[in-house]
Amino acid sequence: MQPAIAFALLVVGAAIGLVLNSLWKDSATVELRNAAEAAALAAAGEYLNDALLAPLVDPELQIELAKLRAAEVAFSNRVAGQPVELDLSPEGDIQFGTRLYNHENNDSVFIATHENPDVVEVRATRLRSHGNPLWFFFSGVTGRAEADAQAIVEVAFENLIDHFQPTPSALVPCLPLAILASDPQGKRTDTWAYAIEQRHGQDFFRFDETTRQVIEEPDGIPEIELKSVPLNSSSLAGNVHLLEFANDLGEMQLISQIAKGLTADDLRLLQGRLPAQDRFDTTGSGNITTPVQMALEAQIGQPRLCLLYPSAEELNVPGWARLICQGVVAIRVLQVLPEGNESATVIVQPTVMTTKTAVLARFLEEDPGDFFTKPEEKLFVPNRFVYKIFLNK
CA distance 308 to 67: 35
Query: 154 and 137 in one domain?
Result: yes
**Are residues 210 and 244 located together in one domain of the fold?**
yes
| 3-state DSSP assignment of residue 172 | strand
Using CA atoms, how far residue 365 sits from 156, 237, 361, in Å, is 20, 42, 9
pLDDT (average), residues 186-196: 96
Provide mean pLDDT across the span 359-373: 64
Contact 357, 260 (CB under 8 A): no
- pLDDT at residue 2 in the model: 57
Same domain membership, residue 200 and residue 103: no
What is the spatial distance between Cα 10 and Cα 7, in angstroms, rounded to a whole number?
A: 5
Angstrom CA distances, 57 to 9, 54, 213, 348, stand at: 67, 6, 23, 21
Cα–Cα distance between 272 and 244 in angstroms, integer? 14
Q: Are 84 and 184 contained in the same domain?
A: no
pLDDT band with cut points at 50, 70 and 90 for residue 132: low
Final residue before a domain boundary, out of 104, 136, 158? 158
> Do 176 and 319 belong to one domain?
yes
* Whether residue 14 has pLDDT greater than 60: no
Give the DSSP H/E element, type plus range, for residue 91.
Answer: none
Residue 245 has pLDDT above 60, yes or no: yes
Can you state the percent helix, strand and coil of the chain, rounding each to 5?
A: 25, 30, 40
Q: Which of 386, 343, 329 is nearest to 181 (CA)?
A: 329
Query: Bridge partners of 215?
Result: 206
Q: Which domain holds residue 269?
A: 162-391
In a shared domain, residues 152 and 199: no
Confidence band (pLDDT; 50, 70, 90) for 20?
very low
Q: What is the pLDDT of residues 271-308, one digit of tens each?
A: 999 999 999 999 999 999 999 999 999 999 999 999 99
More confident residue, 56 or 138: 56
Q: What is the pLDDT of residue 246?
A: 96
If asked whether residues 234 and 145 sit together in one domain, one would say no
The residue among 158, 183, 217 that closes a domain is 158
Domain total for the chain?
2
Q: Rounded to whole angstroms, how far apart are CA atoms 108 and 258?
A: 42
Same domain? For 170 and 145 the reply is no
* Same domain for 269 and 130: no
Q: Assess contact for 321 and 314: CB atoms under 8 A.
A: yes
Indicate whether 307 and 361 sit together in one domain.
yes
Please check whether residues 236 and 319 belong to one and the same domain. yes
286 & 310 share domain: yes
CB 330 within 8 A of CB 304: yes
Identify residue 180 by its one-letter amino acid code: L
Percent of the chain with pLDDT over 90: 70
Label the pairing between strands 280-285 and 320-325. Answer: antiparallel
pLDDT at 129: 53
Q: Over the stretch 97-128, which tens digit does the pLDDT of each residue have?
A: 999 987 777 788 999 999 999 999 999 876 55
The pLDDT score that the predictor gives to residue 64 is 97
pLDDT digits (tens, 9 = 90+) for 60-103: 999 999 999 999 999 998 876 788 889 999 999 999 999 998 77
**Which of 144 and 222 is assigned the larger pLDDT?**
222
Give the chain's mean pLDDT.
87
- Contact 329/280 with Cβ under 8 angstroms? no
Whether the CB-CB separation of 305 and 168 falls below 8 Å is answered with no
DSSP label of 377: P
- Last residue within a domain, chosen from 106, 125, 158: 158
